[in-house]
Amino acid sequence: MDNEVDVFYQELPKVELHAHLNGSVSSQTIEKLISRKPHLNIEHGMTAIGKGQRRTLDECFQVFKVIHQLVDTEEDILMVAIDVIKEFAADGVKYLELRSTPREEKTTGLTKRSYIETVIKAIQQCRSEGVDIDVRFLVAIDRRNGPEVAMETVKLAEEFMLSSDGLVLGLDLSGDPTVGHGRDLLPALQRAKNCGLKLSLHLSEVPSQLEESELLLNLPPDRIGHGTFLHPEVGGSQSVVDKVVENKIPLELCLTSNVKGQTVPCYSKHHFKYWYQMGHPSVICTDDKGVFSTDLSQEYQLAASTFGLSREDVWKISQQAIDCIFAPDNVKQQLKQKWIDLQPQVFK
């Protein structure tokens, strides 16, 4: 972690809605993975971006390739997912939607199906150990892999949505935004939507995606990842903003990730300000807490110090995130009650 975090932000109950599993692996877990696979000659500096460091988008995506080399068996995925869930719980996260791209690895026998089953197993194991966090899973489509793989992923996600007792709730569209076009993925995304999978789509993470965002907003998605370049001040358009506002589509905003990945020049210029000032539902998230050396408490504190938010403002942001979760209304009610119960302790 890069910074000292005030106890208020740690004790604040939080909802994390944008966390990529393999980007969330902590340095302690990376250590364990490296010792399992010394022959790969992977060093720590290759899997995380430290304080004050910046990388190009391309360099960031190279980091994921290194982590994927370290996480290529069911055993690895189980350990990584359990560690990540417990770390989020220790950071005060009470509800987590984890997302991950199912991968197949011929050499280890890992299949896309066993990948998803293993993540579900990790969630169930944490639940049976009584870890104080409600975890759900979004199956991810990496846009690099094209329309056929996207459709195959949707079918798998659909199956698990029906068989996982509410653990698999939806679909994430992510991956290098400079690769491929969302138009080719529309049939898969439309099918997902029709069968009841919730959709969280990375939109306008880079400046050149306005046309794609216009198209994908017609679905419409249930949440937007980043949306960095949607608004007119940064080359987006008012009509796109209007669509987001009319459909009340929440944004998942990740400050450190965007600054370290250099899609945003500095914290004070982060688009959190634009959407928050409009009163639009905006959820603070980590994106890749391992790669970007952060956690959710730190992201809340950063938002507060950058944009002059009071503790009451921060509380409201964390509470309103509950309305943006994909789990059904009874889960929202339980979480709202939890927030009420915890409030005196947090503001003591």
Q: How many residues of this chain bind ligand ZJS (CB under 6 A)? A: 20
Nearer to ligand ZJS among residue 22 and residue 297 (C-beta) = 22
Task: Give 29-37 contacts, CB < 8 A, sequence gap 24+.
Answer: 29/79, 29/80, 29/83, 29/84, 29/290, 30/67, 30/70, 30/290, 32/79, 33/70, 33/71, 33/76, 33/79, 33/80, 34/70, 36/70, 36/76, 37/69, 37/70
Q: At its nearest, how many Å lie between ligand ZJS and the CB of residue 316?
A: 26
Nearer to ligand ZJS among residue 258 and residue 318 (C-beta) = 258
Nearer to ligand ZJS among residue 29 and residue 319 (C-beta) = 29
Q: Is 205 a known active-site residue? A: yes
Spatial distance between the Cα atoms of 346 and 182, rounded to a whole number of angstroms:
43
Catalytic residue among 205, 212, 252, 299: 205
**Sole binder of ligand ZJS in the list 205, 222, 295, 299 (CB under 6 A):** 205
* Binding positions for ligand ZJS, 44-103, rule CB under 6 A: 57, 60-61, 64, 100-101
- What character string, x for contact with ligand ZJS (CB under 6 A) and - otherwise, covers 299-318? --------------------
Q: At its nearest, how many Å lie between ligand ZJS and the CB of residue 159?
A: 19
**Sole binder of ligand ZJS in the list 175, 180, 182, 250 (CB under 6 A):** 175
* Binding positions for ligand ZJS, 98-137, rule CB under 6 A: 100-101
Tell me if 22 contacts ligand ZJS by CB under 6 A. yes
**Sole binder of ligand ZJS in the list 87, 134, 214, 287 (CB under 6 A):** 287
* Residue of this chain nearest to ligand ZJS (CB atom): 261
Picking from 48, 50, 118, 111, the residue whose alpha carbon sits closest to that of residue 81 is: 118
**Sole binder of ligand ZJS in the list 5, 9, 10, 20 (CB under 6 A):** 20
* Binding positions for ligand ZJS, 213-272, rule CB under 6 A: 257, 261
The phi and psi torsions of 138 (rounded to 5 degrees) equal: -110, 125
Six-digit token string for 11: 């004790």
Active site residues: 205
Which residues contact ligand ZJS (rule: CB under 6 A)? 20-23, 57, 60-61, 64, 100-101, 140, 142, 174-175, 202, 205, 257, 261, 287-288
